[in-house]
Structure 1
Amino acid sequence: MDNKEILDTLKAAKQYLSRLKLLDNEIESAVKQIINTFEETEKNIHETFSNLKDSLVNILNKRENCLLDQAKKARKDGLAPLEECRIVILEKIETTNKLINIGNSVINGSSDNLDKFTKDACLLGSLPEVPELKEVPFISFHYEPTSEIEVKDILGQFGDVCRIAPIQITELIEKPGAILVEWQSIENEDRMTDIQEFRLQRAFGDVIMEKHLLVNFNDCYKGLETQFLVKDLQVDQPYSFRVCCKFEGTLEWSPWSLPQVSKTTLMPFSWKTHEDYFMSNDNKIAKPIKNSPRVLYSDGPQFCVGHSVEFTFLDVDPSDAIVGLASENHYNTFCDLNSAWENSFFINRNGRIFVDGVEKATRLSDFTTGLKVCFTCDLVNDQKVRVNIDSNDKRVTYDWLINPNSKMFFFLTIFFIELESNGGIIFFK
């Protein structure tokens, strides 16, 4: 082996060693994740069961005292009339004993108390009414054994240790001013049909590096879709995401997925400053200030394959108007509505669609206040793209012969329109 071969071998060995160290770092991260999550889970179990024990003891003590109070009240309410009756009976017993003693003395020859005996003798014969035993309280404690069994069963199955959450984030795709979050079930794809709802949360910052940011998670989506475009994000700012689900027949949410951190480096869509238009809201609102304004373009070629742009019209001018896309290489050839529309894809006020200046047979709804028109662009091959236009719950699709690698401008004219960048979705309001 010559020196060159030795050097090549050493270079390959160093690269191999570097990769081994990277794998070892990944193993170390995995070990830390298991240990840290175990410690956190152990702490949560202890705290949860400690709180549960205290709560259960408190509940049982309250219930015991409540039942004892009920029993004491039943005893008091039952004894009160009996005690009153007994007082009357005891008084009559005492009176009757006195009468008997007086009577005995009269029989024995004493006539001093004869008048009193004769007078008190008329009190005999009246007995107090005493209730039968079946009419007085028979206090007892009763409970359903099945209830006790159910409580024990619930407590016996309380809680669960999950090795890994059933739903995990699979991809975070940056969009202009937004991030597209995608997720799926990792247990069983067939079980996806058993899912009642997904729940996506977002937090500002990196919760993996800064644990205290976990309290900042807030809901940003609930539904059955397995992806969601999180909008209105700051450029180059990290955001954390997590997702969980609710299975049919359950009320509780599943454990959260492993947090994922991402950011978008793509600037939000915005209009290019134009003297014919008044701009506001970070160039997201464009209002014409001339009777015949020139074409207004986006601030650079911001639209490309995989993006979507949605226009919402706040105020529709009665004159002719257009909104659409223009090729990066030809956008500045369009000066007004009379220009050639080669390398453009647009729809006009009457719902007529033009691709490279050729009108298509299908028509969409006329522009009206509040109408939304959405353009989406997908790759077909290295020579063309496929553009979808959605308007008023109707979609049309056409192939467009342009370079898929080139970016596009979106443009408009005539309208009072607001632009809200939503990571590939634009709103003109």
Structure 2
Amino acid sequence: MSMEVDLLLQEAKESIEAAQNYRSELQQRLHGLNQARKQVRGSSGQARDALRRHFAELQAAATRLLAERLGALLDEVNAIEADSIKPLDDCQSLIEHGVGQADELLREGEAALRTGLDEKEDKLGSFTKKAMHIQLDSLPEVPALVDVPCVSAQLDDSLLNLLKERVTRHGAVSSHPPVQIEELQERPGGILVRWCKVDEDFAAAEFRLQYRRSGGGGGQYEEAFSGRDSEFLVLQLDPHTDYLFRVCARGEGRTEWSPWSIPQTGYTTLAPHEWRSGTDGYILSSRKNIALRNDSAHSRCPVLYSSAPTYYCGQTLSFRIMTAGQVDGRDSVGVSIDSKEEESFQREGAVCISTNGAVFVNGKEMTNQLPAITVGSAVTFDMEVVSLLPLSNNNLSDGGNFKLRVTIGSGNREVVFDWLVDQPTDCFFFGCSFVHSGWKVLVF
């Protein structure tokens, strides 16, 4: 009887636990639905506000521009009218003055005819002289109607038709931004961000990537990248810290940018690569990811290693040459199993590429060669474990029983080879060696 009770109790406990898990899962889905609803409602409200604000600004600007154009055209009419009326007014004043003189002459002539015989001769003589002085046969010229301006306004519906055409195509509403962040991949001290188009009809000519710390104290977004590539490695990020990333695009032949993508949260658990402090002959940046070979004359060892074996198989290690100095055959950048002091990185237990493009494996130069390293060159190392070889394998004579597949890339070329080492390992030091000063190397 007790066994049946124990079974029932166990089943009840399992059912209760399953119900709790089921309720927890449902609550998480409700939270996800609420977040989705907030995104739809919030983005719709922001879109409505942006549309109203934009078209209100357009209306105000269009009203102002139309008023300014109307005022300019009215000013032109006023100027033409003023310039054309002045000579007409002058002519009218001259004619009115002549009419006045003629009236006065008529009155004097009529008065002279009515005078008596004893005064008539004097009056008529005076009238005749005055009439000759006025020159009654000289008349002012009045311009013909075809010779004076006839002001008109030339107006048509072309602007309205053009406005209708442009307004009907102005602006757009989309349910999703044309580009979205596709992948956030952690790297030492950074995150590799990849994005892609989700609108196949959108012909993107350029992208922008921004990021900021997540949370209330994250501050403003910072510009990380602008260009045609669809991925970018954001460096100098603090490990175990959430960052928000967003991307937008500009269409081919357009000046405006698309809406920002939905921000995605990413973080890195990998500490940034750092050069080792205190190595004679090298100066490090504040973040220790940039090393400069200085002109120390007492440099005992020209090899500079990483502060720890922070490069792991499966990752990509990159070197970028920021400045260059005098070239020497021993100059190299690469990866090593240990960090023992050597006079060159071209040694046993290391793979590297020299500044002239030669590749060295355990100190031996390969026949394959990469482009020479110059200012701006980027060199990448990728490694993966291939297999553990049997102890009796003939390859032991080549240096080990643990095989690693190494890919070194430089410029637009790469070499791939197998590296045999004595002991299984998946973490390595990185390093560089430069004989002369002036070489500056960024590692990431």
What TM-score range do you get, normalising by the shorter chain? 0.7 to 0.9
Among residues 408, 413, 416, which one is paired with 2:428 in the alignment?
A: 408
Task: Call closer, same or farther: CA 1:170–1:105 in 2, change over 3 Å.
Answer: same
Supply the distance in 2 between the matched residues of 1:69 and 1:211 (Cα, whole angstroms). 57
Q: Distance in 2 between matches of 1:83 and 1:27?
A: 82
The yes-or-no answer on 1:248 pairing with 2:256 is no
CA change 1:165–1:408 in 2 (3 A) is same
**Which residue does the alignment assign to 1:43?**
49
For the residues of structure 2 that align with 1:125 and 1:165, how far apart are their CA atoms? 88
Structure 1 range deviating more: 331-340 or 100-109 = 331-340
TM-superposed CA distance for 1:166, in Å, is 0.9
Match of 1:78 among 58, 79, 84: 84
1:48-75 per-position Cα deviation (integer Å, ceiling 9, x unaligned): 2333332222222222222222222221
The partner residue of 1:309 within 306, 313, 318 is 318
Q: Map 1:100-115 onto structure 2 (within 5 A).
A: 100-108=106-114, 111=120, 113-115=123-125
2:440 to 403, 418, 427: 418
Q: Matches of 1:212 and 1:264 in 2, distance apart?
A: 17
Cα distance in 2 between the residues matched to 1:33 and 1:292 = 61
CA contact (8 A) 1:236 1:265 kept: yes
Task: In structure 2, give the amino acid aligned to 1:197.
Answer: E
Q: Match for 1:270 among 274, 278, 284? A: 274
Q: What is the CA distance between 1:38 and its match in structure 2?
A: 2.0
Matched, 1:89 2:95: yes
User: Which residue number in structure 2 is paired with residue 397 of structure 1?
Assistant: 415
Q: 1:321 to 1:198 in 2, by over 3 A?
A: closer
How far apart are the structure 1 equivalents of 2:291 and 2:341?
A: 21
CA gap of 1:116–1:220, structure 2 versus 1, over 3 A, is farther
What does the per-residue CA deviation read over 1:159-211, in whole Å, with 9 as the maximum and x for residues that have no partner?
332222111111222222222111111122xx46x222222223x322xx549
1:281 & 1:45 partners in 2: Cα distance? 48
Deviation of 1:286 (Å): 4.4
Contact 2:283 2:293 in 1 (8 A): yes
1:176 is aligned to: 188
Mark the CA change 1:69 to 1:55 in structure 2 (over 3 Å): closer, same or farther: same
1:164-203 counterparts in 2 under 5 A?
164-188=176-200, 191=201, 194-202=203-211
Runs of 5+ unmatched residues, structure 2 = 1-6, 388-402
Contact conserved, 1:178 with 1:264, CA < 8 A, in 2?
yes
User: Match for 2:196: what amino acid?
Assistant: Q
CA distance in 2 between partners of 1:220 and 1:419 (Å): 21
Cα pair 2:301 2:341 within 8 Å, conserved: no
CA 1:21–1:124: 2 relative to 1, 3 Å: same
CA contact (8 A) 2:210 2:247 kept: yes
Secondary structure in structure 2 of the residue aligned to 1:385: strand
Find the counterpart in structure 1 of residue 165 from structure 2: 153
How large is the Cα RMSD of the aligned pairs? Answer: 3.0
Contact kept? 2:179, 2:196, Cα under 8 Å: yes
Q: Using a 3 Å threshold, how does the CA distance of structure 1 residues 83 and 317 change in structure 2: closer, same or farther?
A: same
Distance in 1 (CA, whole Å) between partners of 2:217 and 2:302 is: 52
The residue identity in structure 2 corresponding to 1:145 is D
Letter of the structure 2 residue corresponding to residue 307 of structure 1: T
Q: Which moved more, 1:256-265 or 1:399-408?
A: 399-408
- Aligned partners of 2:113 and 2:124 also within 8 Å: no
Aligned to 1:427: none
Contact 1:334 1:340 in 2 (8 A): no
The one-letter amino acid paired with 1:244 is: C
Deviation of 1:11 (Å): 2.5
Name whichever of 283-292 and 64-73 sits farther off.
Answer: 283-292
* 1:335 and 2:346 correspond: no
Identity level (%): 26
Q: Distance in 2 between matches of 1:29 and 1:291?
A: 60
What is the DSSP-based 3-state SS (H/G/I as helix, E as strand, rest coil) of the residue aligned with 1:331?
coil
1:225 to 229, 254, 277: 229
C-alpha deviation, 1:292, in angstroms: 4.1
Work out the CA distance in 1 between the residues paired with 2:124 and 2:172: 91
Alpha-carbon distance in 2 for matches of 1:184, 1:16:
36
Counterpart pick for 1:135 among 127, 139, 147: 147
Moved over 6 A (4+): 402-405
**Which whole-Å CA distance do the structure 2 matches of 1:106 and 1:212 have between them?**
109
Q: Secondary structure at the match of 1:228?
A: strand
Map Cα deviations across residues 268-290 of structure 1 (whole Å, 9 max, x no partner): 22211244334332333243643
Q: Is 2:335 the counterpart of 1:325?
A: yes
Distance 1:297 1:101 in 2: 125
CA contact (8 A) 2:305 2:339 kept: no
Where does the alignment leave 5 or more consecutive residues of structure 1 unmatched? Answer: 425-429
The corresponding residue for 1:375 is 380
**Distance in 2 separating the partners of 1:42 and 1:365:** 55
Deviation at 1:381, TM superposition (A): 5.3
1:358-391: CA deviation from partner (whole Å, max 9, x where unpaired): 42112345566x363512316585664341230x
Cα distance in 2 for residues equivalent to 1:275 and 1:74: 86
CA distance in 2, matches of 1:47, 1:101: 78
- Look up the equivalent residue of 1:186 and give its one-letter code: V
| 1:390-415 Cα distance to aligned partner (Å, 9 max, x none) | 0xx45231133479981222112244
The number of residues matched between the two structures is 407
After superposition, what is the alpha-carbon deviation per residue over 1:302-360, rounded to whole angstroms, capped at 9, x for unaligned?
A: 2233323124253236463332111xxx3145634498514x21123543212244421
Name the SS of the counterpart of 1:221 in structure 2.
strand
**Which of structures 1 and 2 has the larger relative contact order (alpha carbons within 8 angstroms, sep 6+)?**
1
TM-score of the aligned structures, taking structure 2 as reference length: 0.81
Report the CA distance shift for 1:84/1:224 in structure 2 as closer, same or farther (over 3 A).
same
Change (3 A) 1:125 1:218: farther
Q: Secondary structure at the match of 1:315?
A: coil
